[in-house]
Structures are given as C-alpha cells and as structure tokens.
C-alpha cells in the first residue's frame, strides 16, 4: 500500500506539471489551483485525467490502469481472497510473492511517471539537476517545519486537526481535508 500511495502521488505530481506546462505563463496561483484540483481526487479519476498527457505512451497508460486495479484489490479484497492461504505456510508464501510482484509493478510505474515529470519540468526550463536540488531544498524545509509543528497537524494539508469522537473513542479529524488519526 505504501508503494501504491507513492504511485498515486506520482500521478498527482505528473498531472500538476503537465497541466502547468500546457499554459503559456504559469504562476504560483496556477500551481496552487492545479494542486487543489488534483488533491481530493480518487486514484481512478487521476489515472483517467492523466490519459491526456501520456504523449502516445500507451503501455504506461495500460500499466497505470493495472496499478489502479491491483491497488484496489490490495485495499479491498486481498486478505479475504487469501483467507485459506493465510492459514498455511505455503499459502502465506503465495501472498508474499503476490505482494512483491505488486511492489515491482508500482516501482516500475513510479519510475516511468518521474520521467514524465522531469520531461515536463524541462519544458518549463527547469533542468533535472535543478529540479532534484529544489526537491531536496523543499524536503529540508518541510522537515524543519514538521519538527516545529504540533503533533496534531494534518500531514496532508498542514491544518490543525480537531479533537473528535467521545470518551469511548477519541480521534483527530482535519477540518479541511477530512484526514483522520486515532488519538
């Protein structure tokens, strides 16, 4: 599921870059708008939107669809479908093998998506080395920000989460994006 989420983030990045470079003079506001537009969308919609920007790479489009189906299978059906497998060593080996194959697919798709992002970033005049340096810079910034932040800050949209639930079960909920975490 970690690698599936990496792919999901990869599609978002690629979409934002692709949408920005398709405009003549993209500004920071355009960036924020493109980001917000792709922020709450399901992975299925992201894959659909990305079709426009595949640039003839049909195999990437097919693998993205497959990655989406595999991710949904893992999230919703995997353990149920392997209920009997889970009771034997051989069965659990099969489950692990299936997960490893999924990781391979997700990593391969993610790598090809990052090529797309780099291609688009070059199109707006940001060479790969500069792109990576900026990524490192913003990661440093985010790390020091997160160290300063209260532990109840939403990791997705950096908003203060609110206490929710009752005495029986307390949790935190982000008023902006709806992300939740058990207290």
Interface with Zn ion (CB under 5 A): 154, 156-157, 159, 174, 176-177, 179
Q: Residue 181 CB, nearest distance to Zn ion (Å)?
A: 10
CA 66 to chain centre: 16
| Of residues 119 and 173, the one with the C-beta less far from Zn ion | 173
> How many other β-carbons are positioned within 10 Å of the β-carbon of residue 116?
22
Residue among 155, 147, 152 nearest 164 (CA): 152
| Of residues 105 and 154, the one with the C-beta less far from Zn ion | 154
Residues β-bridged to residue 181: 172
| Of residues 134 and 156, the one with the C-beta less far from Zn ion | 156
Q: Residue 182: which H helix or E strand, with range?
A: strand 180-182
Burial of 58 (0-12, 13-18, 19+ CB in 10 A): exposed
User: Do residues 183 and 171 lie in contact, with contact meaning Cβ atoms separated by under 8 Å?
Assistant: yes
In degrees rounded to 5, what are phi and psi of residue 175? Answer: -70, -15
Q: Residue 173 CB, nearest distance to Zn ion (Å)?
A: 9
| Of residues 69 and 145, the one with the C-beta less far from Zn ion | 145
């Amino acid at each position: 599921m970690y690698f599936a989420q990496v792919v999901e983030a990869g599609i978002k990045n690629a979409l934002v870059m692709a949408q920005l470079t398709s405009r003549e003079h993209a500004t920071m506001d355009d960036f924020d708008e493109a980001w917000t537009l792709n922020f709450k969308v399901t992975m299925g919609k992201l894959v659909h939107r990305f079709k426009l920007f595949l640039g003839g790479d049909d195999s990437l489009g097919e693998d993205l669809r497959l990655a989406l189906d595999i991710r949904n299978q893992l999230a919703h059906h995997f353990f149920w479908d392997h209920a009997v497998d889970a009771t034997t060593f051989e069965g659990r080996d099969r489950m692990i093998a299936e997960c490893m194959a999924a990781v391979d697919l997700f990593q391969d798709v993610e790598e090809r998506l990052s090529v797309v992002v780099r291609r688009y970033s070059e199109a707006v005049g940001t060479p790969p080395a500069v792109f990576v340096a900026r990524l490192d810079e913003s990661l440093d910034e985010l790390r020091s920000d997160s160290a300063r932040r209260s532990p109840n800050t939403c990791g997705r949209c950096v908003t203060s989460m609110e206490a929710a639930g009752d005495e029986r079960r307390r949790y935190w909920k982000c008023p902006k994006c709806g992300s939740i975490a058990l207290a």
